[in-house]
Amino acid sequence: MNNKYLLEITNLCKNYTNENNSKIEIIKNLNFKLKQNSKVSIVGPSGSGKTTLLNIIGLLDAEFDGKLYFNNKNISLCSKDEINNIRGLSIGFIHQFFHLIPELTVIENVMLPLLINKNETNSYETSKKLLIEFGLNERINYKPLKLSGGEQQRVAIARSLVNNPDLILADEMTGNLDENTANNIFKFFINYIEQNKKTLVYVTHNKTYSLLADEIYYFKNKKIQLTNE
């Protein structure tokens, strides 16, 4: 194992079973190495398996064949609790539909990962600082549904970053925003990732955004391939 990789996947295979109990093969013999501090984009048609792969990379789905090392740790040898711990401390997710908790205020949503990880000291101040940086200082006590889509996504981005994770995963994060808002948010987001030297894997349908990555992968034949291969 080489230390400069945050994640290494070898021979990944992932199947689902459909309602007729037959096997659907989504990922077959996929190999992938993710360099520390790099930005990787994944593009490909709907239904090709992008979200499935992101869930595996993000340690949300452990039901697969093959090997996955995260920070040099063989994940198949870890207990569920260990995996949950690694995910909680090291990985931030951003989804297309924000997935904010409507009953909680903006700042409570952002604080949540800190509270879950028992990282409660200064959780309010840390979250507030991030929300101010994201231009949301006027909104911290609002409920998410009172905000625009762009504001909700900025809250979700702040929540994904509050724990200072090593890896950020974004699944079509601008897919539900108008073009102008999407452009502003994506620019801001990429800038933050670069300034803070984070590792990012993002799925997008937007060619301009995908080109901002250091490596661009295309989902084809049940695996991902570098687009210049």
Instruction: List contacts with ligand ADP (CB under 6 A).
Output: 16, 18, 24, 26, 44, 46-52
What is the smallest separation between the CB atom of 51 and ligand ADP, expressed in angstroms? 3
Locate the DSSP E strands across 20-155.
23-35, 39-43, 65-70, 73-74, 91-94
Residue 52: which of ligand ADP, Mg ion, none does it interact with, CB under 5 to 8 A by kind? ligand ADP
By beta-carbon proximity to Mg ion, the closer residue of 53 and 110 is 53
CA distance 107 to 152: 12
Closest to 162 (Cα-Cα) out of 135, 125, 136: 125
By beta-carbon proximity to ligand ADP, the closer residue of 47 and 135 is 47
CA distance 161 to 92: 6
Binding site for Mg ion (CB under 5 A): 50-51
Going by their DSSP bridges, the two strands 39-43 and 199-203 should be labelled as: parallel
What is the smallest separation between the CB atom of 26 and ligand ADP, expressed in angstroms? 5
What is the smallest separation between the CB atom of 151 and ligand ADP, expressed in angstroms? 25
By beta-carbon proximity to ligand ADP, the closer residue of 18 and 195 is 18
Residue 66: which of ligand ADP, Mg ion, none does it interact with, CB under 5 to 8 A by kind? none
Question: Which residue do the tokens 């452990």 mark?
Answer: 62
Specify the 3-state DSSP secondary structure of 77. Answer: helix
Specify the 3-state DSSP secondary structure of 48. Answer: coil
What is the smallest separation between the CB atom of 24 and ligand ADP, expressed in angstroms? 6
